Structure 1
Amino acid sequence: MSWRYVNLPPQDGYHMVTSFVSVADYVSGGGKNTLLLFGVKEPFVNVGVHQEVWLEVDLEYTKKMGIPVVRRDLGGGTVVITPGEQDFFLVVRQEDAPSTPSALYQKFLTPIVNVIRSYGIEATLKDQDIVVKGKKISGNGAMSRGKAVVVTGNILLNLDVELMSKCIRVPSEKFRDKMAKDMREWLTSIKDEIGYVPPKEEISRKIKEEFERELNVKFEDSNLTPEEIEEWEKLAIEKVNESWVYFKDNRHPDLRTERCVKINSSLALCHIDYKARKLLRVTVRVFNKVIDEVSISGDFFVMSPPGFLERLEDFLKGTVPSMVETKIKEFFEKEKPVIFGFTQEDLVKVFNELMNKPEIQEII
């Protein structure tokens, strides 16, 4: 079976997060399964599609330093992408991909595990990440688009922990120092493990060879089609638009709180961070004894259907607290989402906890 192998020069952040989208459209239209490799020209902050920027990014620092904040079409958490990593994007037809996230990651990340192990590093797959003795050395994600499935990820070659810690939002500078220390304890790189960074050409070759071996396919060296490049340029320009970067923030401008507060006898705002398999952030506004507005964000992955989260938020508006669990179950049964990071039961727990907060109990 012949697949396409495309190795490109370094790109900016807007082109990085849109490359696999145009390739997914090509594959959906009957094109060959594609492995795309390249790195980034300069650092940027990469925000997950389900995250609120104000909760995740130190915008004062990124604006001061001219570091772009780019929202991708993929779930997961906020990461700082630097030239010190090798990025890969695998796009395959839906019928060639396992239907469950765990099987998907097992199949398509094993080649990356093998590449890291080839340097004598004890790498193992843990959910969608690759770790070395508990430390992440490769962060990955997946999404569906049309008739294609996309798996994206990286291999951390050399860490810039100081830059990473400065771009992420923290409650205080003291906490930032702790974050930098924590990052060193849960992140690692090829250089940290073996003392040097192998040439990227070597790593690219190994990635190509391991995918061929593990998947029993043959790659043909190729380029993107003119149609892919045209769409890619269009998508990259759209990603620069602040209405996209801040779409989640602008969707809920009145829900910016990280605590619970009773505004008056009929209005309360309440926020919870809940650690399911991934982080789930939920904020609600309760007005006149019903849920008036909901924001659901976090570093999880909603692989399908598109727009599920926003429709769920809208569906819960006007719900009386006693009916939240029923409404969530009804919506999940109707839409049958494929989610990696939290379950329907997790979401019910979050809303039950929110509705039992004293600030909300006082007004309902």
Structure 2
Amino acid sequence: MSWRFVSLPPQDGYHMVTSFVSVADYVSRGGRNTLLVFSVKEPFVNVGVHQEVWLEVDLDYTSKAGIPVVRRDLGGGTVVITRGEHDYFVVVNQDEAPSDPKALYAKYLSPVVEVLRDYGLNAQLKDQDIVVNGKKISGNGAMTHGKAVVLAGNILMKLDVDLMSKCIRVPTEKFRDKMAKDMSEWLTSLERELGYVPPREELDKKLKASFERNLGIKFEDSSLTSEEIEEWERLAREKMEEEWIYYKDRRHPELRTERCVKISSSVAICHVDYKARKLLRITAKFLGGKLAEVSISGDFFVMSPKGFIELLEERLTNLSPEDIPKEIDRVFEEKKPTIFGFTADDLKKAFLEIVNKPEVREVI
């Protein structure tokens, strides 16, 4: 089976997060499966599609430093993309990709694991990440787009923990110092493990050979089609719009809190961070004994259907607390979402935590 191998020059953040969408359109129309590789020109903060920017990013610092904030179409957490990583995007026909997220990651990340082992590293697949001696060296995520499945990931070649920690929102500077220390302990890079940074061309050569061996395919060095490039430029322009970057924040402008507050005898706003397999952030406003508004965000991945979180928020609005678990089950049964990071039971437990808060109990 013949795949395309496309190596691009360094891109800005807006073009990075739209490249694989353009290629997915091409694959959906019957084009060949594609492995796309490139790096970034300059650092940027990459926010997951289900996250609220104000909760995740230190906007004072990024604004002063001139570091763009870019929202991608893919789930997962906020990451600071630097020139010290090598990025790859696997775009395949949906019929050829495993529908189970765990099997999907195993199939298309095994070649990357093999490349790292070829350097003599003790690399292992852990959920959707690749770790070396327990430290993450590769972060990955997946999504469906049209009739294509996209797996996006990177290999950390060189770390800039100082920059990463400055871009992330934290409660105090003391906490930022702790976060930087923690990052150094749970992230690693090729430079740290090998004592040097391999050339990108060498990495590409190894990736090509490993994918061919593991998947039984042959690569043809290729370029993007003119249609892909035209669509790519259009999508990149869309991603530059503040309406997209802050769409999650603007969807719930009144739910800006990280605690529980009783506003009046009939109104309370409450926020909880619930750790399922991935992080669930829920902010809810209760009015007159009912859930008046809710924001569900976090670093999870919803592979399908598109717009599921927004639909879920709408379906839960105006319900009494006792009806919330039943409606969650109903929506999950109807839409049968493919989610990596939390289950319907996790969501019900998170809401139970909210409704049991004293501030909420007093108004319901």
Q: Provide the TM-score with structure 2 as the length reference.
A: 1.00
How far apart, in 1, do the equivalents of 2:354 and 2:137 lie? 35
Match of 2:67 in 1: 67
Alignment of 1:242-281 (within 5 A): 242-281=242-281
Distance across 2 between alignment mates of 1:353 and 1:59: 30
Report whether the alignment pairs 1:295 with 2:295: yes
2 CA distance for matches of 1:242 and 1:117?
A: 42
Which residue pairs with 1:311 in the alignment?
Answer: 311
* SS of match in other structure, 1:264: coil
Q: Which amino acid aligns with 1:353?
A: E
Tell me by how many angstroms 1:287 deviates. 0.3
Hey, what does 2:99 align to over in structure 1? 99
- The whole-number CA distance in structure 2 between the counterparts of 1:134 and 1:242 is 38
Whole-Å separation in 2 of the counterparts to 1:115 and 1:47: 28
The residue type equivalent to 2:153 in the other structure is G
| Aligned residue type for 1:301 | F
Cα distance in structure 2, aligned partners of 1:317 and 1:149? 32
Matched AA of 2:79: V
CA distance in 1, matches of 2:170, 2:318: 33
Q: Does 1:171 align with 2:183?
A: no
Query: Structure 2 counterpart of 1:162, which letter?
Result: D
Task: Name the CA distance, whole Å, in 1 between partners of 2:168 and 2:195.
Answer: 27
Alpha-carbon separation, structure 1, partners of 2:213 and 2:10: 26
Classify the secondary structure of the residue corresponding to 1:6: strand
- Trace 1:7-46 onto structure 2 (pairs within 5 A): 7-46=7-46
What stretches of structure 1 move > 2 A for 4+ residues in a row?
none
Report the equivalent of 2:138. Answer: 138
Q: Offset of 1:146 from its aligned partner?
A: 0.6
Aligned length in residues: 364
Counterpart of 2:183? 183
Aligned-pair distance for 1:147?
0.4
Q: Which residue of 2 aligns with 1:327?
A: 327
TM-fit CA distance, 1:277: 0.4
Alpha-carbon offset, residue 348 of structure 1: 0.4
The aligned residue for residue 349 of structure 1 is 349
- 1:360 maps to a residue whose letter is V
5+ long unaligned stretches in structure 1: none
Aligned to 1:108: 108
| Amino acid in the other structure paired with 2:150 | V
Work out the CA distance in 2 between the residues paired with 1:184 and 1:117.
22
Deviation at 1:133, TM superposition (A): 1.6
State the AA in 2 paired with 1:122. Answer: N
User: Take 1:260 and 1:128, find their aligned partners in 2: how far apart are those partners?
Assistant: 33
Deviation at 1:14, TM superposition (A): 0.3
**CA–CA separation in structure 2 for the residues paired with 1:294 and 1:328:** 13
Letter in 2 for 1:313: E
CA distance in 2, matches of 1:253, 1:133: 42
TM-score normalized by the length of structure 1: 1.00
Q: Distance in 2 between matches of 1:202 and 1:36?
A: 15
In 2, the alpha carbon distance for the partners of 1:104 and 1:27 equals 17
What is the rounded CA distance, in whole Å, between the counterparts of 1:267 and 1:9 in structure 2?
A: 53
In structure 1, the residue matched to 2:152 is: 152
| Distance in 1 between residues matched to 2:345 and 2:319, nearest whole Å | 18
C-alpha distance in structure 1 between counterparts of 2:303 and 2:81, whole Å: 22
CA deviation string 1:92-129 (max 9, x = no partner)? 00011001000000000000101111111101000000
User: In 2, Cα distance between the equivalents of 1:117 and 1:157?
Assistant: 15
Deviations 1:187-206 (A, max 9, x none): 00001101000000000111
CA distance in 2, matches of 1:353, 1:13: 37
Query: Separation in 2 of the partners of 1:309 and 1:257?
Result: 20
The one-letter code matched in structure 1 to 2:345 is E
3-state DSSP of counterpart to 1:349:
helix
Structure-2 separation of matches of 1:134 and 1:60: 33
Aligned to 1:197: 197
Counterpart of 1:310, as a letter, is: E
Amino acid at match of 1:76: G
Q: Deviations over 1:221-251 (max 9, x none)?
A: 1000000000000000100000000000000
Q: Kindly provide the CA deviation profile for residues 286-344 of structure 1, in whole angstroms up to 9, marking residues without a partner as x.
A: 00110000000000000000000000001100000011100100010011000000000
Distance 1:353 1:279 in 2: 14
2:263 is paired with a residue whose SS is strand
Please state if 1:119 is matched with 2:81.
no
**Cα distance, 1:134 vs structure 2:** 1.4
3-state SS in 2 of match to 1:257: coil
